[in-house]
Chains A and B, each alone.
Chain A
Amino acid sequence: MSKFTDGLKKVKWKNYINYAAIGIVTIVFGILSIGGGLPSSTLYLLEKIAISIILAVSLSLVVGFLGELSLGHAGFMCVGAYLGGKVAAMLAKTALGGVGEGILVLIIALVVGGACAGVCGFIVGLPALRLKGDYLAIVTLAFGEIVKVIFQNSSAESFGGPIGLTTPRFDKKYLFIIGLLMVLATLAVLQNFIKSKHGRAITAIRDNEIAARAMGINVTKYKLIGFIIAAVFAGFAGVIFSYSQNNISSATFDYNYSIEILVMVVLGGMGNINGSIISATLITFLNVQLQNVLKGDLAVLKDLLYALILIVIVIYNNAPKLKNFRDKYNIGNILQKLIKRKHDPARTRDDAARWDVVPTKISMDEVLSTDIIVDDTGDNSADVGERRGTK
């Protein structure tokens, strides 16, 4: 017994607070929904929130931790939605469709959608090994657009072409529960991954790629893993999205959608998973609510507001000239002073400094300013080899 309570005391509850919060939301709303006490609008909202959180958290792995800018996250989602949706549509009519109220088909669709998106993540990750920063950003953007065009021009029998793919809708009473469970799974995988030696390696690559290489970190492997994991979860989000709609069309997954996900990640604080969760929830919630309040062209005031908040927050967090101001008037610091908890690194426990949470400013200068280490000697390595051959 005492061993058990000791064990409980050792658990760092702070690390699990997000699981707890989402778990409680899932249980409370799940009970209400099954009891029939929730209006459809709330159910749809919860579905959307779950999808946004999965997207934002998975993108934050690439942007926040790996330090690469990806503008094609909606493209991965598109692949997941279309392929998972297609599998679901095909299987729903077969005998499998009846097993467990369609849960089995949903699981198969998730696996297929996630796997296909993962393969795309691998393909997009390959250029990431040669390209950096701005160049990689445009490649991911291009990938998203290519995926969109391909699905748009598919034949009516395969993926529905311009009219979109007809997908089975899951019972709305349960879909959001599945969505929130997927959020928990996403959190479990990503947090466990990031808070391990592998996550440390990824953060090291972001902080200083050359030093990471010199430490023997396999940069190729970890960059690919980062891209693949993010893509797989975007694919999951896509499958859930396809289950939340009767008809999906690739125009939904455009570049603006990727930007919206990026905004969620940035506003939540890059590399801050809990921040991403909160900002994804809030932005989705506001999107839906403001759409009802702001009619006509005034609806755009919402975008105007987001843009302004985005600019102000980024400038506030990053402007070199505001550094002193930030340090002086940081509410966190002020609160700390009020509570009088003096920060003494020597006395704090090992995990006191949260290495997985970094300020928005990532010292990306070096990472971004080097395109690639190339030999000035010639454009190709054959040239190099030739000289060596003549030794």
Chain B
Amino acid sequence: MAKLIDSIKSFVKEKILKNAHVRENIKSDYVLETRNLGITFGGLKAAQNVNIKIKKNQIYGLIGPNGAGKTTIFNLLTGVYQPTAGTFYLNGEDLTGYSQEKINHKGIARTFQNIRLFNNMTVVRNVMVGLHNNPEFKCSEATSILRLPRHYKVEKAMRQRAKDLLKIFDLEDERNNLACNLPYGKQRKLEIARALATNPKLLLLDEPAAGMNPNETEDLVKTIKYIRDNFDMTILLIEHDMKFVSGLCDEITVLNFGTVLAEGDTKTALSDPEVIKAYIGG
């Protein structure tokens, strides 16, 4: 019997887990550090050898022409795709290979390029979903079904927290509207509020200013800075709007065809001849 179990164990080890990623934490001064991160789809190298280092409280930009692999990087960092090469670390903790849920629990939250709200729920409840895993609002299924006092307490506290968050984004008055009925700009803001509700250490924003008018964009810049300052947040964002990026980001990485073209200080990186060539198409 014991022999059988051993043989099963060795089989699992050799055949199934043979190349599984062994996680190793490192000592890192950076909130996010990626090492040679890459993914290939069939023959297509969607991203390769991406090394990004983001310091605490930085607003970091990820830019590049269409199809450069920016959203792919986001998907890698949030576990939607599993990287085929490389690793990434959050505050030195290796998160490579974790599921989306787990990565979120570890402290990375994101928004989406094409807005993904819970359309049939009200605004306030969208945010409350974000608060779901907060240890403060822990409440088991049985507690809820039996309607123990804890359930009411938690619900009330969650609602209050959600309202507070919505206030920051000036969405408090809309809280009882269905999310799908909000105007576009407000939907984007709601997505950020919802991501923030999960209490992340690193916030990934995928084209937050897309489709906004200049006034709204200006407003957004203020809000993002406010988040960074008041929530002690580190932010990685994708954006096309150069003005937006140069006005907001401390450092950037420029991608093209899945590889890093330039990185570093926003101004220097943007004036790199390679970057200009990639954008203008020289």
Partners in one complex: yes
Min Cβ gap B79→A in Å is 8
Contact A216 B198 (CB under 8 A): yes
- Asked if B208 CB lies within 8 Å of chain A CBs, one says no
Q: Is B154 close to A, CB under 8 A? A: yes
Q: What is the bound-complex CA distance between A385 and B21, given in angstroms?
A: 7
Number of interface residues, chain B, beta carbon within 8 A: 61
Q: Which of A51-59, A201-209, A306-314 lies on the face that meets chain B?
A: A201-209
Q: Does B118 contact A (CB under 8 A)?
A: yes
> Across the interface, do A196 and B155 meet the contact criterion of CB distance under 8 Å?
yes
Cβ contacts under 8 Å, B174 to chain A? 345
Q: How far is the CA of A385 from the CA of B14 in the complex (A)?
A: 13
Q: How far is the CA of A358 from the CA of B132 in the complex (A)?
A: 21
User: Which A residues touch B173, using CB under 8 A?
Assistant: 345-346
CA of A350 to CA of B160, assembled, Å: 11
Q: Which of B117, B120, B154, B155 is within 8 Å of A211, CB to CB?
A: B117
**A373 lies within 8 A of chain B by Cβ:** yes
Q: CA A346 – CA B123 in complex, angstroms?
A: 12
A375 lies within 8 A of chain B by Cβ: yes
A-side contacts of B198, CB under 8 Å: 215-216
A214 and B121 contact, CB distance less than 8 A: no
Contact of A355 with B125 in the complex, beta carbons under 8 Å:
yes
Collect the chain A residues with CB atoms within 8 Å of residue B51's CB: none
Q: Secondary structure of the B side of the interface?
A: mixed
Are the C-beta atoms of B104 and A214 separated by less than 8 Å?
yes
Q: Is the CB of A200 within 8 A of B41?
A: no
B 242-264 contacts with A by CB, 8 A = none
Whether the pair B132, A388 counts as a contact (CB closer than 8 A) is no
Q: Is A363 an interface residue (CB 8 A)?
A: yes
User: At the interface, is chain A mostly helix, strand, loop or mixed?
Assistant: helix
Which of A192, A201, A348, A355 makes the CB contact (< 8 A) with B145? A192
Residue in B closest to A188 when the chains form the complex, CB atoms:
B145
Name which of A231-239, A326-334, A376-384 contacts chain B.
Answer: A376-384
List chain B residues, Cβ under 8 A from A215: 104, 109, 129-130, 132, 194-195, 197-198
Task: Given the known inter-chain contacts A345-B177, A389-B19, please indicate yes or no for A201 contacting B132, CB distance below 8 A.
Answer: yes
Q: What is the distance, in angstroms, from A26's C-beta to the closest C-beta of chain B?
A: 21
Q: Which of B62-70, B136-144, B218-226, B270-278 contacts A (4 or more CB under 8 A)?
A: B136-144
CA–CA, A211 and B130, complex, Å: 10
A375 touches B41 (CB 8 A): yes
Most buried by B among A210, A381, A385: A385
Whether A204 pairs with B121 at a CB distance below 8 angstroms is yes
Report the separation of the CA atoms of residues A386 and B112 in the bound assembly, to the nearest whole angstrom: 30
Chain A residues contacting B151 (CB-CB under 8 Å) are: 196
- Is A111 in the interface zone, CB < 8 Å from B? no
Determine the residue in chain A with the shortest Cβ distance to B180.
A363
Q: Closest residue to B197 on the A side, CB-wise?
A: A215
Q: Which residue from B99, B122, B128 sits with its C-beta under 8 Å from A353?
A: B122
Which residues does chain B contribute within 8 Å of A131, judged by CB atoms? none
Mark contacts of A349-391 with chain B using CB atoms, 8 A cut-off: 1 yes-contact digit, 0 otherwise.
0101101001100110000000001011100011011111101
A375: which B residues are within 8 A, CB to CB? Answer: 41, 81-82
CB distance from B208 to the nearest CB of A (A): 15
* Contacting pair B141 A363 (CB below 8 A): no
The answer on a CB contact under 8 Å between B120 and A358 is yes
A208 and B178 CA atoms in complex are apart in Å by 14
Does A362 lie within 8 Å of B40, measured CB to CB?
Answer: no
B100 on the interface (CB 8 Å rule)? Answer: yes
The residue in A196, A212, A382 that gathers the most chain B C-beta atoms within 10 A of its C-beta is A196
Q: What 20 new A-B contacts, CB under 8 Å, besides A196-B155, A208-B116?
A: A189-B145, A192-B146, A196-B144, A196-B145, A197-B137, A207-B117, A213-B100, A215-B194, A216-B104, A217-B133, A346-B173, A350-B176, A353-B176, A376-B42, A377-B40, A377-B84, A382-B19, A386-B19, A388-B21, A389-B19
Q: Write the residues of chain B forming the contact surface with A, with a CB cutoff of 8 angstroms.
A: 16, 18-21, 36, 40-42, 78, 80-86, 99-101, 104-105, 109-110, 112, 116-122, 124-125, 128-130, 132-133, 137, 139, 141, 144-147, 151, 154-155, 158-159, 173-178, 194-195, 197-198
